[in-house]
Structure 1
Amino acid sequence: MHGRIVQYSHATGIGIIINAHKKLFDFKVFNWHDKTRIPEINLLVEFRVDDENNNNVIYVRSSKYQEFDKDSIIRERDFWKTVTDEELEKLEQNVFEDLIAKTCKETDYLIVNNIKTSISIDKFIQYHFESETKIIKHSLKLPVDGYELLDYRIVTRFLTRTLDSLVYTEKRITKDTFSSYLQIYSKLQYLITPFYKSQQETKKVFNEVFLSQQLYFVSAKRKLVNVKDDLLKVDNKIRTLKSQIYHINIKLSAPQGKNEQEIRDKLDKINNQYKEMCETQIHLNKLKERIEKMLALFIQTYEKDFFIKFDKAREQIFEHIKNALNTVITSLDNKMWQLGMASEPIKNHFFKLQSSYPFCILAFIQQYIKTLDVNKLSDNDRLLNIYITRYKERNTKKVLIVSSKDRLKSHLKIQLLSMYKDFIVTSIDKKMEYEIVVTNQKFDYIIIDMELNNDPIEMVSFGKNNKYNKFSKFILYQTM
């Protein structure tokens, strides 16, 4: 049946639908079966309920009908009167057919000089990309908390690895926690597939979609078909009459006696019919030629403008889709990082495997790169290595912890990695190692345990006198 979402929470994945009789139905996100859109308040939907429990929604998806403005040939009341989109689509087709028939009947194509549009190019493009525009706008509202957007083309293969690791290690977290992100991401990925792009080929859309929605153009085409049918009938009638005239003339070439006048009267009648048919043929051919010219003129008038505007809109849409994908994967990565860094199982398991990066896509990329032979990189891995190197140069802040206390180092590291996703935290425990590291590497922050056996002030002085770390921020840490 048809309904509208009146309440929905992306956090819980639970919503409420109202139908035409003002009855409310609860639904859950796992009953949502639509990759083209995500559940949201005020979205018109088509849904089914369990036969045994009429309040239990077992299937729900967005309706293809969302807005009913002055250009719509059906109204919102038709949406509520019908049960399914298929039923409403049939009603729409019937209404459109009636409008075509009415337009054909009322239009004198020997008088009108051109075919006008029933929907402008700009309006058509707006309607055509309405679904894409809405999901892009929704995607771009997702929080990224000031972090640089990840490039989905490069990092997407590590998304599943990160998510699977999180839900496998932290049993209290399931993939349903991220269902809203994943639904958006899945839809956006579909929008960049070769199949979807092929469906948006400009000439294809113009010929198969734009023209088919133009009431006056379609009506003129229908009229042309009718005229051609009429011409075919007239041509057949003319051939029949010519044959009859021929045979009567042969018959009259011999004396007919008292029946001759009757035969001549019949011949005159057929000649008159033949003359009328020839005049009708001339009229229909003129009408056919005029409609064909107007149809060709319509295409010639609007095709170039359509191609320019549609190409521009399509390129903008594809660019927005890429930005939306980058936004979604970044926002999702932030969510996984926050949940991962707050999870005790993740802390206990993940940080035994690696020591420098927080739980996020970046960490799994770094783990993968460590397994590669830099002299035998594939093109994709070379691109990944270049990307992650430049990302780290632009965004990451390196922190060095110097302490002989393992528990303190672990505590500070997790605290820091929970504060900022782009921290890289390294820890050491000996002065000699410290001197080697600060001599060869630059750090943004250097935290030195005040309870080290070595003089911490002397260590700070050594670091500041080094060319790499003279502008680093040194922090002396003392356990309370």
Structure 2
Amino acid sequence: MHGKIMVYMDSTGRGTVMDNAKIFFDFNGQSWHDKKSMPSVGMLVEFRADGKHITGIRPSKFQEFKEGDFITEQDFFRTAGDEELEDLQNSRRSAYITQLFRTIDFDTMDAIPLSLTIPQAIQKYFSGEILAVEALKVSVDNIKDVPCVLDYFIVKRFLIKAFDTLLFMDNSINQTQFASIRSIMMHLENSYNDMRDKQKLLNIVKIFNETFLSLQCHYQALAATIDQRKNRLASCKHQLKSTQMEHKLESSKPKPDAEKLQKKQERMDELLKEINYFEETLKKLEALRADFYKKNYALFENAFKLSREKLFHKIVTGLNMCATIMDRYIWNIALKSSGVKNSYFTRNNIENSFCVISFAELYLSRLDKSSLNPTDQKLLAYVQKITKEHRKKFLVVTTDLDLLTKIKIQVFTLNPYFIVKYAPKKVNYQSLMRDNNFDMVYLDEKNLWEKTADVILEGKNFDRQGKTKFKLL
């Protein structure tokens, strides 16, 4: 059946479809059968139902109805499925082509009108991928305050790790708030994989013929005219050959019939005239067809490659945005979660915020940097670039672990890539100040091993750049 999505909730994956009789049907995420796109309000769909519950649903091939499509939105709702609607469209197109074939004087035609523009044909071909991109209805404002946009394919495994760890540490978290962004990521990645896998198998000639040329009504009418005239030419040549043989036989008789010879000669002259007409007009029509094909194929090939490249880039950009937004969700929730606070931030050896880059750093810290595989080398370079551009270092000098956790959360709230180190004793303080350049050092005056002024002076002696600030707690 055909219908339109009237209600859809990203958080639950549930929605409602209305058919032509204004009957409503319910569906959920399990019944959605399209890997490259996700449901949205207003989307036209093809579905199967058991009673008022949808058992299978997917986006229709037909999402818009424009002049020249030969079908309307009413036809959409009156047909049982896309196959029936496509047959109706093809039938009406064929009838229109037949009408053009019968009524147009192609001998006077200098150019073939377009029934479908090249951008429309390309949009039709990439309809699934376009739906996947349009599903990401997130404005730039939603990520403008992040330090950087993440590379989805580099951080993907750590994004999954961060998400799973978050849920493990705090089972009270409502996972539905992640449902929409995770669904969008899944559909975008499916589109990405599909476009990537088809790259080596692309046959632009076939795509041009199927998505553009076959839908050009005037071109198809011209092709039919050429075929008809070729058949007529062949028939005329055959008739001429037969008439010539009959003329020759009649003239070879002892007493040839002059009247018959005259009629045969007139018929031969008539056939020669027709043959000359068909040969001359066929040259013109073939040239017209060839020119149309050559000109439009060149334009189509360039536009197709450019459109595909742009769409592929949009999908990659969309995946990067999704990774960044999901990482932002994880980071924000972790900062407010008591479960994460108790099991993550209170550990003395956890210096990083709860975010994707932190999990990537933890993974890299366990590896031998001199024998990394190409994937891990790329990851290391990527993490180093982000930390170099966005990291600031902070030091908390205290033995109060509650105070340490409080400062960590305050610092991590400013930026997920900031790092907070911890010095409970003088030896730790000296070692850290010697090996690092800190932007800020927090001093817990109640728990220092000597006078505050002496601790600050000692710290400044280690500060080679003279940029470290000290703040008393």
TM-score for the superposition, normalised by structure 2? 0.85
> Partners of 2:159 and 2:241 in 1: how far apart?
74
Change in Cα spacing, 1:156 to 1:238, as seen in structure 2 (3 Å) is: farther
Conserved 8 A contact 1:7-1:41: yes
> 1:431-454: per-residue Cα shift (whole Å, max 9, x none)?
221122122212233333232143
- Where in structure 2 are the equivalents of 1:16-415 lying within 5 Å? 16-50=16-50, 54-125=51-122, 128-129=125-126, 132-133=129-130, 135-139=132-136, 141=138, 143-144=142-143, 146-147=145-146, 148-167=148-167, 170-171=170-171, 178-189=178-189, 190-191=191-192, 193-198=195-200, 205-242=207-244, 244=246, 248-249=249-250, 253=253, 273-347=267-341, 355-414=350-409
Conserved 8 A contact 2:31-2:54: yes
Change in Cα spacing, 1:244 to 1:367, as seen in structure 2 (3 Å) is: farther
Change in Cα spacing, 1:440 to 1:228, as seen in structure 2 (3 Å) is: same
SS of 2:108 mapped into structure 1: coil
Report deviation, 1:412.
4.1
Percent identity, aligned pairs only?
A: 28
Report deviation, 1:399.
2.6
Q: Could you say what the CA RMSD is over the residues aligned between the two structures, in angstroms? A: 3.3
Conserved 8 A contact 1:33-1:60: yes
Of 446, 457, 460, the match for 1:451: 446
> 1:143-185: per-residue Cα shift (whole Å, max 9, x none)?
3252210122322343333344445555556876534323332
Conserved 8 A contact 1:124-1:210: yes
SS of 1:426 mapped into structure 2: strand
- The one-letter amino acid of 2:29's match is V
SS of 1:96 mapped into structure 2: helix
Report deviation, 1:41.
1.5
Change in Cα spacing, 1:103 to 1:434, as seen in structure 2 (3 Å) is: same
Change in Cα spacing, 1:172 to 1:91, as seen in structure 2 (3 Å) is: farther
Report deviation, 1:24.
1.9
> Partners of 2:166 and 2:221 in 1: how far apart?
59
Conserved 8 A contact 1:3-1:20: yes
Conserved 8 A contact 1:340-1:346: yes
> Partners of 2:186 and 2:436 in 1: how far apart?
41
> Partners of 2:457 and 2:274 in 1: how far apart?
107
Q: Are positions 1:463 and 2:464 aligned together?
A: no
In the alignment, which residue of structure 1 is the partner of 2:13?
13
Conserved 8 A contact 2:37-2:188: no
Report deviation, 1:322.
2.6
> Partners of 2:234 and 2:60 in 1: how far apart?
44
> Partners of 2:56 and 2:333 in 1: how far apart?
30
> 1:5-43: per-residue Cα shift (whole Å, max 9, x none)?
222222232222221111222222232222232221111
Change in Cα spacing, 1:413 to 1:277, as seen in structure 2 (3 Å) is: same
SS of 1:139 mapped into structure 2: coil
- The one-letter amino acid of 1:84's match is G
Change in Cα spacing, 1:23 to 1:461, as seen in structure 2 (3 Å) is: farther
User: 5+ unaligned residues in a row in structure 1: which ranges?
Assistant: none
> Partners of 1:353 and 1:94 in 2: how far apart?
74
Conserved 8 A contact 1:38-1:180: no
> Partners of 1:5 and 1:237 in 2: how far apart?
63
Conserved 8 A contact 1:14-1:26: yes
SS of 1:372 mapped into structure 2: coil
Report deviation, 1:350.
5.2
SS of 1:61 mapped into structure 2: strand
> 1:361-381: per-residue Cα shift (whole Å, max 9, x none)?
212211221122111122222
Report deviation, 1:310.
4.1
> Partners of 1:412 and 1:288 in 2: how far apart?
85
SS of 1:191 mapped into structure 2: helix
Aligned length: 466
> Partners of 2:170 and 2:225 in 1: how far apart?
67
Change in Cα spacing, 1:389 to 1:201, as seen in structure 2 (3 Å) is: farther
SS of 1:447 mapped into structure 2: strand
